[in-house]
């Protein structure tokens, strides 16, 4: 096996990991802040992907440009989901605990969105093939780097920076972190927890729009395809630690690289299996905490 | 009957229990007092098997139980109540106790038998009138009684009572004390009692152990403890006669 | 033995169901029989899910893997060797139970949503595995030509009707038995307060795994008979999200934690689904829209399911005549 193909695979793994990281970031945020598992996020991303596709195919709107439209739409959508479906849970106590109830409700959201997507766009997979800067690949020595992958990777990093800076530097971000650490104490200090949660969901919406756009130009868009994304996101969050932005990034890069390298030697399916195996191992060794997890959402 | 030697348990860097020795004799009511955070509940958790001790061991009726899973320890004959009551909220009072009758040492073989057993314990703790009511509708005193009834239904030899009287008014405290005495006198159960309500502990216990910061700092009968300088400084505040 | 009203209703329902096909010569259309067959299938799946999801409180998200195991074992043995499903069905069911034992121990350590995600992960991986290991499973083309040697071609609809009816009744009776047994009380304890249960002498891991294996068994058994019923299976048809989703929704909607709830849920929702798919918006998956909405709103406003409208909001397992159970 040539060195260059190993390096190539490694590089692809890192790029892939960056994309995984962006998907997992939202899940990690909601998990850490609202303490809820957002299983509907995958469907939202896929919906965003379809929307991007539709804008491109129907109206010639370039994917990155379409973000101007999709980001506000999904921000609002996500806030509505929080307000209508999630907020009422916190007022009730019932047979199941909040974690489970919210999980099932968001599962309902996922199913609803899947039905919507299947209805609007049928189950045929769609794809956008697009080239930037006039080339589909650039070469570094004998290693080919896909332009699209590189651009989306950079976009992903920008997302991470955005979230990090928001959480650490802005007043709103700090308020949200306070809520994630200690809801009641934050409330006593004048933070409106409901708005904090809503904002967290809103950020998830923004991330969904971006992720969806990335999926639409990188992969095939297919209504039932989001389940693998969700499962991988959970693996990443479990591995990297709930609520840790940095941990999510590292974990995702690790997963992407391992998948890529495994795929080089074994067949495709085993690259997926390896993720599950790692997940099980981590759950055994450090349940709930992962490699970097903390009890709050932190920037690091 | 129940003894522990050099029981140690740490959490992270914090030593919750630092070499505690204790002995509960048959037919005894042994009191365990100490300031908050001194390790009382942790000790109970170690005895009932929820935690393993890092060092040391716990013996019950000549058998080593430290390291056994909690359900086995329960079946050997140790029952306990929790400081923060943990009943099955959405089940009825009788169902809560029936569970214990089924899985404890009563080994009831059918639901009917288990129910009969359970009613016995509900009578003992004065909850028989409430048998069909959902637990979430009970008062705190009633919930405490239910915890005790449930533990009794295991037909234990030893009962670990963790702050059964917290939050009770004086009348309720007296009722609880009477019940604890009956548990020892009528049912021949040895009682290990954690309590902050001083007059109850002093009145009930044959002997008292005092914990502070994970260590045993005193042991003796009620008046010895009340006048023990170390205990007074750490916990009681003033000589308590 | 006390006979609760649910059991009586179930008995009446059973008798009516047995008689149904006899009305066919009198003009009863076939589609009713087919509809009922599907209702029975989903009622069994829903009931099986209920064992681990409702009674034990561990919301399983990957039951389709058991269904798939049952379906594929029967299908492959039928396709390659012509062995009748009546022989191979139990093989598949036991294999699935064994699989449940294998993954049950690690995953059941996890609480709440973590368990759901872990089982989801395992099941998606299994789907991928089935789709890629062509030598074993014939991949996404599926396994065709599944005609069981014992079941006659003429009147097969009726034969399968009775098979699925039997499965539904068997699983319902198992559910009823659980409710009224020591096992059921143990599961109640785990569901309501898993931290307390061991202190009462309950070996929680043992009970959880048993419930999980029961679920796997019946789900796989249903899948096993599904293969020859459909005469052709593929990963999409037996490992789809729908097989995972529908039973969960039906159990929750009808009333998880009771043996009758899943049956009500299956009855109402499967009918709704067929109505939507075949009449309202033919050939689509439009049923997902109301299903998604229902799932969310059931959890918010009727967490104990439809059955709670008849019984009050309590969640007791044992019901006796005349015993009040109000919240």
For the stretch A284-299, pLDDT in tens is 666 555 555 444 443 3
Q: Which of C201, C324, C325 sits opposite B74 (nearest CB)?
A: C201
Q: Burial of B214 by CB count in 10 Å (0-12 exposed, 13-18 middle, 19+ buried)?
A: buried
ipTM of this predicted structure: 0.85
**Which ranges in chain C belong to alpha helices (H)?**
5-19, 30-50, 64-81, 85-107, 112-132, 134-137, 156-179, 182-192, 204-230, 235-238, 241-254, 261-274, 288-301, 307-311
- Give the pLDDT band (50/70/90) at residue B159: very high
- Say which DSSP state A144 is in: E
Q: What are phi and psi of B163, to 5 degrees?
A: 50, 55
Mean residue pLDDT across chain B: 86
Contact C314 B134 (CB under 8 A): yes
More confident residue, C188 or B237: C188
User: Which chains contact A through at least 3 pairs of Cβ atoms less than 8 Å apart?
Assistant: C
The residue among C59, C105, C113, C127 with the most chain A CBs within 10 A of its CB, best to mutate, is: C113
Check CB contact under 8 Å for C292 and A111. yes
Express each pLDDT in A134-148 by its tens digit. 566 777 776 777 777
Sign of torsion over alpha carbons C191, C194, C199, C203: positive
Q: Please tell me which residue of chain C has the smallest CA distance to B82.
A: C196
Beta bridge partner(s), residue B79: B159
Q: Is A192 helix (H, G, I), strand (E, B) or coil?
A: coil
The closest CB to that of C201, out of B86, B91, B154, belongs to B154
Which residues neighbour C324 within 8 Å (Cβ) at sequence distance 6 or greater? B132
| Separation of CA B16 from chain center | 18
The closest CB to that of C314, out of B69, B90, B103, belongs to B90
Phi and psi at residue B115, to the nearest 5°: -65, -45
Overall average pLDDT of the A94-115 stretch: 82
Nearest to B181 by CA among B147, B219, B148: B148
Distance from B148 to chain C by nearest Cα, in Å? Answer: 12
Highest mean pLDDT (candidates A192-206, B45-59, C41-55): C41-55
Q: For residue B183, is pLDDT > 80?
A: yes
- C304 contacts C257 by C-beta, under 8 angstroms: yes
Average pLDDT over residues A8-23: 85
Chain-chain contact of C182 with B92 (C-beta, under 8 angstroms):
no
Q: What is the DSSP letter of A132?
A: B
Give the per-residue pLDDT at A286. Answer: 62
CB distance B195 to B201 below 8 Å: yes
Q: C180 to chain B: nearest residue by CA?
A: B111
Structure tokens at C194: 């898993």
CB–CB contact C110 A109 (8 Å) = no
CA distance C222 to C216: 10
- Cβ atoms of residues A53 and A217 within 8 Å: no
Cβ partners under 8 Å of residue C78, min gap 6:
C84, C85, C88, C146, C147, C148, C227, C228
B103, C180: Cβ pair inside 8 Å?
no
What residues in chain C have per-residue pLDDT under 50? 1-2, 313-327
Using a CB-CB distance cutoff of 8 angstroms, which residues of chain A are in contact with residue C129? 269, 273
Average pLDDT over residues A54-73: 85
Chain A residues inside the 8 Å CB shell of C105: none
Given this model, what pLDDT does residue C3 score? Answer: 59
What are the DSSP E strand ranges found in A89-142? Answer: 137-140
Secondary structure (DSSP) of chain B: -EEEEEEEEEETTEEEEEEEEEEE-TT-EEEEE-STTSSHHHHHHHHTTSS--SEEEEEETTEE-TTS-HHHHHHHTEEE--SS----TTSBHHHHHHHHHHHSTT---SHHHHHHHHHHHHHHTT-GGGTTSBGGGS-HHHHHHHHHHHHHTT--SEEEEESTTTT--HHHHHHHHHHHHHHHHHH--EEEEE-S-HHHHHHH-SEEEEEETTEEEEEE-HHHHHT-HHHIIIII-S---
- Say how far apart CA C327 and CA C324 lie, in whole Å: 10
Here the tokens at position B31 are: 């009191």
Instruction: Report which of residues A267 and B137 the model is more confident about.
Output: B137
Closest CA to B85 of B2, B28, B141, B13: B141
Selected for mutation to probe chain C from A94, A104, A263, A289 (highest C CB count within 10 Å) is: A104
Q: What is the pLDDT of residue C317?
A: 35
- What whole-number distance in Å separates Cα of residue C131 and Cα of residue C128? 5
CA distances from A270 to A259, A266, B214, C128 (A): 8, 6, 50, 9
Pairing of strands B63-64, A143-146: unpaired
How many residue pairs from chains A and C have C-beta atoms closer than 8 A?
142
Beta bridge partners of B219: B209
Helices C64-81 + C241-254 axis angle, to 10:
130
Q: Cβ separation of A114 and C121 shorter than 8 Å? A: no
Q: From the CA of C119, how many Å to the nearest CA of chain A? A: 10
C295: closest CA among C244, C263, C248, C241?
C248
Residues of B in contact with C256 (CB under 8 A): none
Distances (CA, A) of C95 to C131, C221, C284: 19, 10, 34
Name the B residues in 178-217 with CB < 8 Å from any C CB.
none
**A18 within 8 A of A211, measured Cβ to Cβ:** no
Residue ranges of domains in chain B: 1-77+158-241, 86-155
Contacts of A283 (CB under 8 A, 6+ apart): A238, C106, C109, C110, C114, C118
Provide the CA A280 distance to its chain's centre, in angstroms. 21
Instruction: Using an 8 Å CB-CB cutoff, list chain B residues near C326.
Output: 134
List, in sequence order, every residue forming a beta bridge with B58; answer none if it has no partner.
B4
Measured CA to CA, the distance from residue A2 to residue C319 in angstroms comes to 71
Would you call A175 helix, strand, or coil by DSSP? Answer: helix
3-state secondary structure of A189: coil
Task: For domain C5-311, give the CATH number.
Answer: 1.10.3470
Q: Which residue has the tokens 């290990």?
A: B192
Handedness of CA B3, B5, B6, B7 (dihedral sign): negative
Please state whether C82 falls in left (phi above 0), alpha (psi between -120 and 50) or beta: left
Rounded to two decimals, the pTM is: 0.88
From C178, which residue of chain B is nearest by alpha-carbon distance? B111
Map out the domains of chain C as residue ranges.
Answer: 5-311
When the pLDDT of each residue in chain A is averaged and rounded to a whole number, the result is 80
Distance (Å, whole) CA A152 – CA A163: 16
Does B199 have pLDDT greater than 90?
A: no
Q: How far is C290 from chain B (nearest CA, A)?
A: 30
C-alpha B225/C-alpha B240 separation (Å) is: 9
Alpha carbons B113 and B106: distance in angstroms, whole number? 10
**Angstrom distance (rounded) from CA B59 to CA C149:** 64
Class of domain B1-77+158-241: alpha beta
pLDDT at A93: 56
From residue A166, how far is each of A125, A214, C324 by CA, in Å?
36, 22, 55
CA distance C204 to C192: 12
Q: Do B88 and C192 touch (CB under 8 A)?
A: yes
């Amino acid at each position: 096996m040539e060195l260059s193909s190993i390096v190539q695979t490694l590089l692809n793994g890192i790029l892939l990991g960056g994309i995984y990281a962006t998907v997992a970031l939202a899940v990690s945020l909601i998990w850490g802040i609202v303490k809820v598992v957002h299983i509907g996020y995958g469907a939202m991303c896929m919906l965003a992907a379809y929307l991007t596709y539709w804008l491109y195919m129907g109206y010639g709107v370039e994917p990155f440009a379409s973000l101007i439209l999709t980001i506000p739409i999904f921000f609002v959508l996500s806030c509505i989901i929080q307000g209508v479906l999630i907020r009422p849970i916190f007022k009730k106590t019932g047979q199941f605990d909040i974690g489970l109830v919210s999980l099932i409700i968001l599962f309902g959201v996922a199913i609803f969105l899947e039905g919507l997507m299947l209805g609007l766009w049928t189950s045929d997979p769609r794809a956008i093939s697009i080239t930037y800067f006039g080339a589909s690949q650039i070469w570094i020595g004998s290693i080919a780097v896909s332009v699209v992958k590189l651009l989306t990777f950079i976009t992903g990093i920008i997302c991470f920076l955005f979230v990090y800076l928001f959480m650490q530097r802005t007043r709103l971000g700090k308020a949200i972190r306070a809520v994630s650490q200690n809801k009641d104490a934050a409330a006593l200090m004048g933070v409106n927890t409901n708005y904090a949660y809503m904002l967290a969901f809103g950020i998830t919406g923004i991330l969904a729009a971006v992720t969806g756009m990335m999926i639409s130009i990188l992969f095939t868009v297919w209504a039932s395809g989001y389940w693998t994304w969700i499962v991988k996101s959970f693996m990443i969050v479990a591995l990297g630690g709930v609520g840790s932005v940095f941990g999510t990034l590292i974990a995702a890069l690790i997963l992407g690289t391992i998948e890529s390298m495994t795929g080089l030697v074994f067949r495709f399916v085993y690259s997926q299996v390896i993720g599950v195996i790692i997940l099980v191992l981590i759950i055994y060794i450090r349940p709930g905490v992962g490699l970097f997890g903390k009890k709050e959402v932190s920037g690091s | 009957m129940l003894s522990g030697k050099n029981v140690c348990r740490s959490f992270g860097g914090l030593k919750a229990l630092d070499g505690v020795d204790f002995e509960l004799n048959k037919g005894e009511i042994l009191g365990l007092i100490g300031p908050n955070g001194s390790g009382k509940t942790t000790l109970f958790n170690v005895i009932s098997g929820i935690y393993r001790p890092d060092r040391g061991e716990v013996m019950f009726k000549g058998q080593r139980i430290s390291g056994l899973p909690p359900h086995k320890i329960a079946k050997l004959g140790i029952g306990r109540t929790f400081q923060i009551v943990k009943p099955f909220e959405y089940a009825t009072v009788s169902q809560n106790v029936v569970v214990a009758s089924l899985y404890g040492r009563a080994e009831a073989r059918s639901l009917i038998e288990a129910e009969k057993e359970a009613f016995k314990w509900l009578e003992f703790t004065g909850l028989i009138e409430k048998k069909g009511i959902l637990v979430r509708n009970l008062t705190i005193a009633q919930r405490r009684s239910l915890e005790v009834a449930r533990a009794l239904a295991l037909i234990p030899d030893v009962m670990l009572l963790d702050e059964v009287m917290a939050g009770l008014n004086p009348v309720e405290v007296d009722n609880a004390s009477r019940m604890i005495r009956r548990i020892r006198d009528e049912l021949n159960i040895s009682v290990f009692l954690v309590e902050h309500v001083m007059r109850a502990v002093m009145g009930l216990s044959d002997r008292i152990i005092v914990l502070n910061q994970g260590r045993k700092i005193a042991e003796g009968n009620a008046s010895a403890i009340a006048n023990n300088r170390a205990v007074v400084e750490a916990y009681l505040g003033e000589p308590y006669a | 033995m006390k006979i609760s009203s649910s059991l009586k209703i179930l008995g009446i329902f059973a008798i009516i169901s047995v008689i149904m096909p006899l009305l066919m010569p009198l003009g009863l259309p076939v589609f009713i029989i087919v509809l009922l067959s599907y209702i029975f299938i989903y009622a069994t799946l829903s009931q099986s899910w209920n064992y681990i999801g409702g009674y034990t409180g561990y919301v399983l998200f990957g039951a389709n893997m058991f269904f798939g195991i049952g379906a594929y074992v029967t299908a492959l043995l039928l396709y390659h060797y012509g062995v009748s499903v009546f022989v191979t069905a139990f093989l598949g069911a036991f294999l699935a139970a064994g699989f449940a034992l294998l993954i049950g121990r690690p995953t059941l350590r996890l609480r709440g949503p973590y368990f759901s995600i872990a089982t989801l992960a395992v099941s998606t991986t299994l789907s991928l595995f089935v789709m890629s290991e062509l030598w074993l499973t014939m991949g996404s083309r599926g396994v065709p030509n599944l005609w069981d040697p014992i079941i006659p071609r003429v009147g097969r609809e009726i034969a399968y009707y009775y098979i699925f009816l039997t499965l539904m009744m068997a699983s319902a009776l198992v559910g009823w038995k659980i409710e009224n047994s020591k096992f059921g009380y143990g599961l109640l304890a785990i569901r309501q307060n898993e931290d307390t249960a061991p202190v009462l002498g309950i070996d929680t891991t043992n009970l959880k795994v048993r419930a999980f294996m029961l679920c796997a068994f019946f789900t796989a058994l249903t899948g096993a008979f599904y293969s020859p019923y459909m005469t052709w299976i593929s990963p999409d048809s037996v490992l789809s999200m729908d097989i995972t989703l529908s039973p969960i929704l039906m159990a929750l909607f009808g009333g998880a934690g009771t043996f009758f709830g899943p049956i009500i849920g299956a009855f109402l929702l499967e009918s709704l689904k067929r109505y939507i798919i075949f009449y309202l918006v033919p050939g689509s998956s439009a049923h997902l829209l109301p299903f998604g909405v229902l799932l969310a709103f059931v959890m918010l406003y009727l967490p104990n399911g439809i059955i709670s409208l008849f019984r009050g909001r309590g969640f007791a397992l044992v019901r006796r005549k005349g015993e009040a159970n109000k919240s």
